[in-house]
Amino acid sequence: MTITIYGIKSCNSMKKAFTKLDELGVPYEFHDYKKQGIDKESVQRWVDSLGIDKVLNKRGTTWRKLSDEQKAAADADQNTAIELMLANTSMIKRPLIEGEHNGSTVVFCGFDEAEFDTVFG
């Protein structure tokens, strides 16, 4: 299994992640949520591994545009939050990195240059 980076191509955090992976010589595949969508099993796996607070992006405009009822429902029920992320992939934090590197399983999200150096350096 190789590294897959999930997200949206035009996102600034994604661009930083692509650049950093290239600098570190890490081969990867890119999965574009907007063009390819995402399956429930993947999102569930990420939530199980990282926690809903790490995976659900509450800082973006997509979250802010939700009704108060939708936000409350997502906060109260993880399955509702996952369904909202499937319907609105911009609500999944970016980049989300998953795969294997040097024999270790890798799953993390967000761009933190120090974390990329630690994991892939």
Q: Active site includes 109?
A: no
Distances (CA, A) of 75 to 8, 23, 61: 24, 38, 17
Q: Which of 94, 98, 72, 99 is nearest to 84 (CA)?
A: 72
What letter would DSSP give residue 56?
Answer: B
Q: Point out the catalytic residue in the list 4, 8, 11, 80.
A: 11
Q: Which residues contact 26 (CB under 8 A, 6 or more apart)?
A: 3, 101, 120
First to last CA, the chain: 18
**Catalytically active residues, by annotation:** 11
